Amino acid sequence: MVLEDESSKLAEEICNEIFEKIDKKRLMQLVRENKEVYLLLHKETREFYNVYVGENNKDFGEFLAIPVPKRFVLLEPDEEYFEVALKANIAIGIKGEKDFHG
């Protein structure tokens, strides 16, 4: 997949940073084992901070909570599509939209 706009390029960089800190298979395992998994990004710097497991009904303050997609972990397990959906969610989160991929 070719990512072209600014938020997509940033999403690519953030995704690479995430996979340097947490293995893709481990992240997929967290999604399998938990109902809700989010990536926390600092709102100002857009740097990856941590993985949050739990409800997204709290104020994360200076952090943006990006949902980790479940579809390509649970329904159609595929690492490549999981990564593409994750990058899409990050790009959407950066743009401030709410239509995340499930």
Please state, in angstroms and rounded to a whole number, the distance separating the CA atoms of residues 93 and 63. 11
69: DSSP letter: P
* 41-42-46-48 Cα dihedral, nearest 10 degrees: -40
Q: Give the pLDDT of residue 96.
A: 77
Token pair 């990050």 is at which residue?
A: 90
**Predicted confidence pLDDT, tens digits, the chain (102 residues):** 444 577 888 899 999 999 999 999 999 999 999 989 999 999 888 888 999 998 767 788 899 999 999 887 877 788 888 899 999 999 988 887 444 455
CA 23 from centroid of its chain's CA atoms: 13
Q: Give the pLDDT of residue 87.
A: 93
Token pair 């009904």 is at which residue?
A: 57
